[in-house]
Amino acid sequence: MSRIYNQSTFPKELKCKKQNSFPYLEALFAVIVWGASFIATKIAVGQMSPIAVVWLRFAMGIPILLVAVVMRKQFALPKGNEWLYFALLGFLGISFHQWLQSNGLQTAQATTTAWIVSTSPAFIAILGWLILKEKLNLMQSAGIVLAMIGVLAVVSKGDLATIAIGKFGTYGDFLILISSVNWAVFSILSRRGLKDHPSTRMTFWVMTIGWLITSVAFFAGRSYTEISQLDSRGWMAMIFLGIFTTGFAYIAWFDALSHLPVAQTGAFLFVEPLTSMIVAAIILSEQITLVSVLGGAVILVGIWLVNRKKDEL
């Protein structure tokens, strides 16, 4: 997934301030960029190894986020055991998560990836129920089931019989599904840190430490030699991933969250997979099929039910 935190991760983060149209534009900008990031990643992993793509992406984006943290006067070093805590989050949310998605996109379609990733809130709800003993009502449970049915439809391309004969999806599809579950674990673990740190600062440290962990494999495997393999299309993809996806989109998202209610901002995330589907069709010539549209719609309805407040049900 391209973003570090979604709406389910902000327990008490921000208060609603006087609103204008700009925060809405910032939220829309962020989700459109994140939706297109799957296409950029697929282009990049076609020219470099996934580890090189992940390393270069965050090497570009982290300095931009650092500037934002400093300008907001939120810079502070982690204290004591927070280093180990951020290291765990960095490994799960950056090193492992981005490795799963980058490797998955070598064989999975960008459109399919976006739909699978959009199910993360369902897995967050399941883990919240299992680990944090958070209650799941009937409608939320139905939403989880709907989201999973939608994933089965999208990955199988409408031929659910392939599940029985062992030809269900690609290897990359399974890696992306694992990344969605991993993101749920990461999100649950992140809640404690967000009580003590502004999201921009926490994201900066999680990204930085995760990038340093990735650097070990990057330099040990001499992956830096692959950067010269990038052509103009590959560099455009990497610049988009590093500067826009990892840098500017996060800044815009956090700024939107500081001005809008979390529920309103989170609603924009439903635009992300739709963006991926359209951009993938234009740039990668991936077909927009009726099964993909219907399956995606089922997923979105399911996630909407999962995310609805209990008093609305």
pLDDT tens for the chain, 313 residues long, are 445 544 444 444 444 444 578 888 988 999 999 999 999 999 999 999 999 999 999 999 999 999 999 998 999 999 999 999 999 999 999 999 999 999 999 999 998 899 999 888 888 888 888 887 888 888 889 989 998 888 888 887 766 655 554 555 788 989 999 999 999 999 889 888 888 898 889 999 999 999 999 999 999 999 999 999 999 999 999 999 999 999 999 899 888 877 777 666 767 888 889 999 999 999 999 988 888 899 889 999 988 888 775 545 4
In this structure, the number of other CB atoms found within 10 A of the CB of residue 76 comes to 11
**Is residue 11 in a domain?**
no
Q: What's the CA gap between 189 and 176, in Å, rounded?
A: 20
Tokens 């995760």 locate to: 210
Contact of 209 with 87, CB cutoff 8 Å: yes
**Is residue 1 in a domain?**
no
Structural domain boundaries, residue 144: 20-312
pLDDT of 292 reads 86
Closest among 125, 250, 102 to 178, alpha carbons compared:
102
Closest among 45, 169, 155, 168 to 98, alpha carbons compared:
45
Q: Which residues contact 6 (CB under 8 A, 6 or more apart)?
A: 120, 121, 187, 266, 269
Q: What's the CA gap between 8 and 134, in Å, rounded?
A: 13
pLDDT of 291 reads 85
Strand segments, DSSP code E, in the chain are none
**Is residue 171 in a domain?**
yes
Closest among 158, 178, 134, 186 to 310, alpha carbons compared:
134
Q: What's the CA gap between 185 and 123, in Å, rounded?
A: 8
Can you tell me whether residue 67 is helix, strand or coil?
A: helix
Q: Per the structure block, which two tokens stand in for 142? A: 């139905």
pLDDT of 133 reads 80
pLDDT of 17 reads 45
Q: What's the CA gap between 12 and 30, in Å, rounded?
A: 21
Tell me, what amino acid is at 5? Y
Q: What's the CA gap between 284 and 278, in Å, rounded?
A: 10
**Is residue 120 in a domain?**
yes
Tokens 């389910």 locate to: 8
**Is residue 10 in a domain?**
no
| Total domains, the chain | 1
Q: Distance of alpha carbon 254 from its chain centroid, rounded? A: 15
Q: State the helix-helix crossing angle for 290-307 and 120-130, rounded to 10 degrees.
A: 40
Can you tell me whether residue 166 is helix, strand or coil?
A: coil
Q: Which residues contact 272 (CB under 8 A, 6 or more apart)?
A: 31, 32, 34, 35, 114, 118
Q: Which residues contact 32 (CB under 8 A, 6 or more apart)?
A: 271, 272, 275
Q: What's the CA gap between 160 and 175, in Å, rounded?
A: 19
**Is residue 9 in a domain?**
no
**Is residue 153 in a domain?**
yes
**Is residue 8 in a domain?**
no
Q: Per the structure block, which two tokens stand in for 227? A: 């950067």
pLDDT of 140 reads 87
